[in-house]
Amino acid sequence: MTSFVDPDRDQFEAFKALDRDQPIEMLNLVKFRAVAQYPAAHELAGAGLTGAEAYQKYGAETAPIVARIGASIMWRGVFETTLIGPSDEVWDAVFIVRYPTAHAFLEMVTNPVYRAAVSHRQAAVETSRLIRCGSGESGKAFG
């Protein structure tokens, strides 16, 4: 499995080029490291935290920012199996976050407190997918 933890510049620019004034949903698929990998200079380097524990620190430190910008987790599930797709992609956390606008998401990721907390996410995550979605209509049929 290829590792993806942070967006690359082209991906981030493509995100910013889309409409920023509408609500967005972000599908999060996250696989944790067995042991968190903090940089040597970080105060938690060598603490032996699991990836899940480091991710919980990320969540706790960013929760006030998420609440302040009006975002919320609208759905959380437990990964069971992949029916269509790479069989080596197994996810420890699967959830969808709704942001009132893409502006709110950008406000979050540029907040200095959030940026400091990202060290926990980077230590925690082996690989992830973060997929921006626009709101669509619900229905009773595919397509």
The 10s digit of each residue's pLDDT in 32-45 is: 999 999 999 999 99
In the chain, which stretches have pLDDT less than 50? Answer: none
For residue 80, give both structure tokens. 């069971």
pLDDT of residue 128: 97
pLDDT at 1: 63
Whole-model pTM: value is 0.91
Separation of alpha carbons 52 and 14, rounded Å: 30
For residue 130, the 8-state DSSP code is E
For residue 47, give the CATH number of its domain. Answer: 3.30.70.100
pLDDT of residue 142: 85
The single-letter code of the amino acid at 85 is G
Residue 4 lies in a domain: no
In a domain, 11, yes or no: no
pLDDT at 136: 84
116 located within any domain: yes
Count of domains forming the chain: 1
Q: Examine residue 65 and state whether it is found in any structural domain, yes or no.
A: yes
Domain assignment present for 67: yes
Looking at the domain assignment, is residue 81 inside a domain? yes
Residue 53's contacts (CB-CB under 8 Å, 6 or more residues apart) are 36, 124
pLDDT value at position 138?
Answer: 86
